[in-house]
Structure formats: C-alpha cells, structure tokens
Amino acid sequence: MVRVDVVGGDTHEITLDDRDTYADLLAAVGLNRHEATVLVDDRPVPDDGTVEADSVRVLRLVKGG
C-alpha cells in the first residue's frame, strides 16, 4: 500500500502490484505524467520507475500561456 498525497488535493491509499510504475500510480489517482509529477523525499522520480516508496507526494504541473 502506498500513501499518495496530492499537493493541494486529497490523500489516497493505493494498492499496487510489485511491477507497477509511478505512471500507474498517477493513473490510480486520476492524473497522468503530462499533468503531474511524483516526488519521493521531495525529489522527482521517473514515470517508468517501479514504485518502491511507501509514501509519495504528487505535484500538479502548472500550464498556461
């Protein structure tokens, strides 16, 4: 189980398989890699990396023009 704290949003408890990636984690909370990034210990992690953390923060990316 991974605790996912979406900055400025909700906190989720997500159950993942051993091979799930951070992109899978984002999808589980309704986001994708183009609109958010995952932070572990306040450092961004690659979307294709296997989830190894017990707790992460998700930071929504700012878009604008």
> Domain ranges in the chain?
2-60
pLDDT of residue 63: 67
Topology at the third CATH level for domain 2-60: Ubiquitin-like (UB roll) (3.10.20)
pLDDT of residue 64: 63
pLDDT of residue 62: 77
Give 65's pLDDT tier (boundaries 50, 70, 90). low
pLDDT (tens digit per residue) in 19-58? 999 999 999 999 999 999 999 999 999 999 999 999 999 9
pLDDT of residue 11: 97
Long-range contact pairs involving 3-8 (C-beta distance under 8 Å, separation at least 24): 3/54, 3/55, 3/56, 4/28, 4/29, 4/55, 4/56, 4/57, 4/58, 5/55, 5/56, 5/57, 5/58, 6/31, 6/36, 6/57, 6/58, 6/60, 7/57, 7/58, 7/59, 7/60, 8/60
